[in-house]
Amino acid sequence: MRILALLAGGERCVCEIQEQLDATQSRLSFHLRKLKDAGLVIDRRAGRWAYYSLVPEALEEMQSLLGVLASQQAWAPPARRVDGCGG
């Protein structure tokens, strides 16, 4: 979420993201890869640096989905069963 919040301000160099989050390179690479695989961010190479930015369409789709889920209260925990786990 912090990476997405940083990128909401526009494209950022990976070194800038790393500095802002005080994250190790390997940890940041892992999270950026997950966000990229999910289609939320894209990267652009310029020399030896990578620049990341948000994919607006993906974020709009997520926002819409979260709005639907919130309106249906699909996020609410299921009712507690009184007969135990296997009942």
The CATH number for 24's domain is 1.10.10.10
Alpha-carbon distance of 12 to 8, in angstroms, equals 10
6-51 pLDDT, tens digit per residue, is 998 999 999 999 999 999 999 999 999 999 999 999 999 999 999 9
Q: What integer pLDDT is reported at residue 75 of this predicted model? A: 59
The verdict on residue 83 lying in a domain is no
Q: What integer pLDDT is reported at residue 70 of this predicted model? A: 78
Alpha-carbon distance of 16 to 24, in angstroms, equals 12
The verdict on residue 25 lying in a domain is yes
The verdict on residue 80 lying in a domain is no
Average pLDDT, stretch 49-71? 85
State the virtual CA torsion across 85, 70, 60, 40 in degrees, nearest 10: -30
Count CB-CB contacts under 10 A for residue 47.
5
Q: What integer pLDDT is reported at residue 71 of this predicted model? A: 79
Alpha-carbon distance of 41 to 33, in angstroms, equals 9
Q: How many domains does the chain have?
A: 1
Amino acid at 4: L
Domain range enclosing 35: 2-72
The verdict on residue 84 lying in a domain is no
pTM of the predicted protein model: 0.70
